[in-house]
Structure 1
C-alpha cells in the first residue's frame, strides 16, 4: 500500500473517530437527567439524598468539616490563614487528561448552563488564552464563601449540591488554597514548532503513514494512553476545532 493511500486512510480514521465521539456524547445526554444547581437547591435534603451518590458526598463533606477544617482553626500556625473567609471559597478542579467525562467546549457550556446566573470564572484547555495545553478545568465561584466561625448543616448541604451539580459534567475535586498551580505542558506538540495546532495532527498522521511513529516525541501522545496513534491526531483535531468555535463565540 502506498504512502498517500495509507495517509488518506489515517485521516479518514481521524474524521470517523471524531464523529464517533460526538455521537457517543449525544447518546449520553439522552440517557441521563442533569440537574441545574437551582433545581438541586430547591430540593429538600430528603429529596436530594434520593439521587445516586448524593448522601455519600454529603457525609464526606461532614467528615471534612469535622476533621480537616476544624483542625485548621485550632492550629496556631494556620489559624490566621484559616480565619480568612476564603478557606471555603468555592474552587473546584479536574485534570481533564484523566477525566473520561470531559468533552471539548461541550463541558464548558454545559457547566455554565447548570450553574445558571452565578458569578463564576472558568479556566479550561479550550477557552484558555494560553496557546498551549492547560491540564486543568477549574471553576472559581465568587458568589459563595463561608465564615470560619459558623459552618452550618445548610452550608454543607449547599456545597454537596454544588459538587453534585458540577460532577455531572466532570469529576471535579475541591481545593481550599487560594491558588491552584496550573500545569501547562506541550501535549499534542509533535512537529517541533512548540505551538499546538492542526499541523501537529497532520504531522502525526504523516509519520504514522510513513511507519515512523517512533520518531514522534512523547508529547504527541495527546490522549495519554501510552502510545501515539490515529486517536491522538483525531483528538488534536477535535481540540483545535473546539478552540476555533470558542473564539468565534467570544469565549476566548
Structure 2
C-alpha cells in the first residue's frame, strides 16, 4: 500500500485528486495539507511515501516544502502545477522533487506517476519536464566566450585540436566507437566540481545521459543503441553515481545545467 499526502491550498483540488487516487486499491490518501508547512509537519509525524505538491501556496511554498521533505529522507515528491511559473518548477527539481505533472493530466497518468515514484523511479513528463529543463538551463549551456576567444574555447579562426580517442567497451563487452555522437561540453562557466564529474563520464555514459534527456526510457535507449536493458541499467547507475544525482530527473537537470546536453 502506497501512502499519499495531498498538498494544495485549494480544497476542491485536493478533493478531486483524492477521488482520482481512490480508484487504485493500492493507493491510500493519508492526509491533506493546505500549505507547505502543513505538508512538512504531516510528513514528519506520519508515514508518507509520496507527496503530490502544489508550488504556489501560502505560509510555505511547495519548493521550500519539497526541499525540507527530501532532506528528511524517505518520502518522494511529485510537483503538480498549472505550468504558469517555469522558474518555480525548475527550482522544485533542484530541491529534489522526483518529477512533476500538469494538473490537467489524465487520471490514469496521475495514478501511474504515483506508482512510478513510489517504486523509486523519476517522472519525466515529456510535455512538461523537458520543456522546463531546456528553457531554464539553456543559458547555462551557452556561456559567453572569453575575450579574444571564439565560442567553443578556440582562438578566432583556429581549429579544435584533434586526437585519436581510445575505444571503450560496454559492460556487455561490445565496443564503443571512438567518434563522439553527443555534443561536447565546454569548460567555460563550469565550476571545478562540475567539470570533474563530466570528465569522469565515459563516452557511452554521456550518450545514455543524452538520450535520457530526450525523455527515453531504459528500454528505448537499449533499442536505440542496440544494447541489452541490463547494460543500459548499469550505465544509468554509473552515471547517476558519477554526477551525484539522486535519480534520473536530477541527472537530466545536471546534463542541461552543465551544457553536456544543449537546450533547444
Structure number with bigger Rg = 1
TM-score range, shorter chain: under 0.3
Q: TM-score, normalised by structure 2?
A: 0.25
Select the structure with the greater relative contact order (CA < 8 A; seq sep ≥ 6).
1
So what's the TM-score if we normalise by structure 1? 0.25
Q: Which has the higher helix share?
A: 1
Q: Which has the higher strand share?
A: 2
